[in-house]
Amino acid sequence: MSNIQETIYQMGRQARAAAHQLAQLTTEEKNVILRAMANAIRRNASALIDANRLDLANGSEKGLSTAMLDRLMLDAQRIETMAAGIDQVATLPDPVGQILESWEQPNGIRIEQVRVPIGTIGIIYESRPNVTADAAVLCFKTGNATILRGGSEAIHSNRAIAAALAEAGAPENSIQLIPFTDRESVAVLAGMDQWLDLIIPRGGKGLIETVVSLARMPVIKHYDGICHLFTDVDADQEMAVSLTVNAKTHKPGVCNALETLLVHRDVAATFLPKVAAALEAKGVELRGCEKTCTILTNINLASEEDWRTEYLDLILAIKVVDSFEDAVVHINHYGSHHTDVIVTRNEFTAERFLRVIDSACVFHNVSTRFADGGEFGFGAEIGISTDKLHARGPMGLRELTSYQYRVRGDGQIRT
């Protein structure tokens, strides 16, 4: 057995023992520890920034894009946002113990369906160090022990965040960070079904497909964010420009950023020059279909691959579609079932779009950037699931619980 395997197996055994302790904490006990975690993040802000500088320097040497470096960067404002997110989780209702249904059978047996922790959760993620805190505190609030495996590009930041969280007095080993960043650690974690109840990968398609192929426990996937915005024939064009620019440029390196703009042919001639001017002013590179390029003659022709690409950068693919139906077909074929938007003043068309698009989040006249647990009122999120079972969309506290049936009686026997 390798040193990596031995270390991670030990972490698994420790996580299982910690999960039993976590399940006994009251909501108030958990909230006290969460507030202490938030204060520890604030108290250690300088250490977090120093650690992050090492990661940023290494990332620059490796040639990471500007958008990827932005995902990686921690500053005073982002650290405070991280701490405030933990404070917010402490204020949210605790789903553990919630009675989903209750009833009594004719024989007098009383049955309750009650939310309970999943148990032990492994989370594999890349780039963004704030995921270390977000994932840890959401799992902690729901009584789940967590084993975190971050990417090599954020290893110093992740270690600093995990060390700060450890000062808060949580049960020992309830939050553990794997010290290794090599591929073997992913394989070991994914095969550890004797100690892990669930694994959640967050990152590129290669990472997720690797975890899915190796996992011996259930997986909740956070696949690509190939998000679309469809400007309908009945769109308010100024609104469509505003939403497109926000969705693409507000934070291009995240999964809910816009990657493909679809435009109804009947408004393409008037709308495309407006939106192109606004996007180019923000430094966005545009790639268009043949019809788009006849209107925007200074942009590059899009390839088939562009419709399937999550750029995570200031690049946008644009396609003119002949009809509402063509927009729907394109989104359901090329999209990643993450978040897709229609801009229209026609309520009937909007409702059709909301019904027929097969994505976790479907929006009407709203920027894709609102596909976020915090914006949904969930507090920090564990990710955005593109699966359909058992969680879909932004994963907050409820999605980190299971349920059990609690049955009470007075000595009934089955005959």
State the DSSP string of 52-89: HHHHHHHHHHTT--HHHHHHH---HHHHHHHHHHHHHH
Q: 98 in helix, strand or coil?
A: coil
Alpha-carbon distance of 304 to 163, in angstroms, equals 46
Q: CB of 249 within 8 A of CB of 272?
A: no
Average pLDDT over residues 229-242: 98
Nearest Cα residue to 267 out of 353, 365, 344, 361? 344
pLDDT-derived band of residue 78, with 50, 70 and 90 as boundaries?
very high
Average pLDDT over residues 389-403: 92
pLDDT tier for residue 204 given thresholds of 50, 70 and 90: confident
- Examine the pLDDT at 379 and tell me if it is beyond 80: no
Question: What whole-number distance in Å separates Cα of residue 239 and Cα of residue 241?
Answer: 5
Q: Per-residue pLDDT for 100 more than 80?
A: yes
Domains by residue range for the chain, with CATH: 3-220+395-408 (3.40.605.10), 227-370 (3.40.309.10)
If one compares 64 and 325, the residue with the highest pLDDT of the two is 325
Residue 147 host element (H or E)? strand 145-149
Of the listed ranges 35-49, 118-132, 274-288, the one predicted with least confidence: 118-132
Number of H helices, E strands in the chain: 14, 16
pLDDT-based confidence at residue 335 (cuts at 50, 70, 90)? very high
Query: What per-residue confidence (pLDDT) applies to 203?
Result: 79
CB burial class (10 A; 0-12, 13-18, 19+) of residue 392?
middle
As a whole number, the mean pLDDT across the chain is: 95
Q: Is 157 helix (H, G, I), strand (E, B) or coil?
A: helix
Say whether 285 sits in a helix, a strand or coil.
strand
Q: Kindly state the average pLDDT of the residues 165-175.
A: 96
Among 347, 390, 384, smallest CA distance to 365 is for 347
pLDDT for 128 equals 86
Higher pLDDT, 296 or 70: 296
Beta strands in 154-211 (DSSP E): 175-177, 198-202
Question: Is residue 171 over pLDDT 90?
Answer: yes
- 258 forms beta bridges with 227
Torsions phi, psi of 72, nearest 5? -80, -25
Report the candidate in 208, 237, 200 with the shortest Cα–Cα distance to residue 121: 200
> How large is the average pLDDT for residues 366-378?
91
Q: Provide the 8-state DSSP code for 166.
A: G
The b/e string for 39-50 (b: 16+ C-beta within 10 A; e otherwise) is bbbbebbeebbe
Higher-pLDDT residue of 70 and 40 is: 40
pLDDT of residue 127: 77
Residues 6+ apart with CB under 8 A from 202: 123, 124, 125, 126, 131, 222, 383
Whether the pLDDT of residue 250 is over 80: the answer is yes
pLDDT at residue 42 is higher than 90: yes
Q: How far apart are CA 134 and CA 380, in angstroms?
A: 6
- Can you give the pLDDT at residue 202? 85
Q: State percent of the chain over pLDDT 90.
A: 87
Given pLDDT bands bounded at 50, 70 and 90, which one contains residue 90?
A: very high
Helices 155-165, 45-61: axis angle to 10 degrees equals 160
Output the pLDDT for position 67. Answer: 77
| 99's tokens | 């009675």
State the CB neighbour count (10 A cutoff) for residue 377.
10
> Stretch 311-326: mean pLDDT, rounded?
97
Place 377 in a pLDDT band, splitting at 50, 70 and 90.
Answer: confident
Q: Measure the CA–CA gap between 261 and 98, rounded to whole angstroms.
A: 42
At 140 the pLDDT is 97
Residue at 398: amino acid letter:
R
* pLDDT score, position 390: 84
Residue 153 DSSP code: G
In which band, very low, low, confident or very high, does the pLDDT at 4 lie, cut at 50, 70 and 90?
Answer: very high
Q: In which residue are the tokens 């997986």 written?
A: 219
